[in-house]
A and B are shown apart, each in its own frame.
Chain A
Amino acid sequence: EAGVVQSPRYKIIEKKQPVAFWCNPISGHNTLYWYLQNLGQGPELLIRYENEEAVDDSQLPKDRFSAERLKGVDSTLKIQPAELGDSAVYLCASSLEGNTEAFFGQGTRLTVV
């Protein structure tokens, strides 16, 4: 069974440029998460989807970040414009509904210069 797939693995952009990350969750997983992981820190939730509905986006900086999950499967996370402080690893995870574990992708390491 394929795991959570993210692309790209690495991205380097100049500040003020836009950037987008893509995530394909495990087949059948209705819950999808985007996390931000700064160096030396634990993952912090940005947004959580149940199917195509964003049920928790309270930590998403909506002035520059946006996300979508069309048809309740794949998801994209966008930053526009990117700032130097956005340099981090962006993790996508998925899980089945209920009190179960989340499975993580490899992450996208973003460097803003």
Chain B
Amino acid sequence: GDSVTQMEGPVTLSEEAFLTINCTYTATGYPSLFWYVQYPGEGLQLLLKATKADDKGSNKGFEATYRKETTSFHLEKGSVQVSDSAVYFCALRTSIDDKIIFGKGTRLHILP
């Protein structure tokens, strides 16, 4: 079945470091891909999305490119801030039945 696999955390970085959180997926058809973020004590918020191959989603300095050939949607940021500390979820929405499937999440800690 369709699934999302993302790197396990926690990931701990110093402020201004480069961030990559890996995400790969398995899906039939042509899914849309998403990154959601969950800040402490808050609900899930959409961070960015891409709806077709080679699309790049971006928001708040974060980027991810929909790579169909490698079935990946890795999240990157060039210079992280303490305020980026949160849990990040990779997700896909299947094109066949509109189901939204999440990865297990990656906890990110940014040290000042």
Contact = CB atoms under 8 A, between A and B. Distances in A.
Interface of A: 31, 33, 40-45, 48, 50, 55-56, 91, 93, 95, 97-107
B58 interface: no
Classify chain B: how many residues form its interface, as a range: 20 to 34
A45 B93 CA distance: 12
Interface of B is mostly: strand
Contact of A41 (B36, B93, B104): B104
Given A105-B43, A107-B43, A56 B100 contact: no
Contacts, number: 57
Contact of A99 (B32, B43, B46): B32
B45 interface: yes
Nearest to A106: B43
B44 A43 contact: yes
B34 A101 contact: yes
Question: What 8 pairs between A and B have smallest CB-CB spacing?
Answer: A42-B102, A104-B44, A106-B43, A99-B32, A42-B104, A104-B43, A101-B46, A43-B102
A102 to B, nearest CB: 5
B89 interface: yes
B109 interface: no
A103 B46 contact: yes
Interface string B42-53: 111110010100
Contacts of B95: 99
B4 to A, nearest CB: 8
Contacts of A44: 102
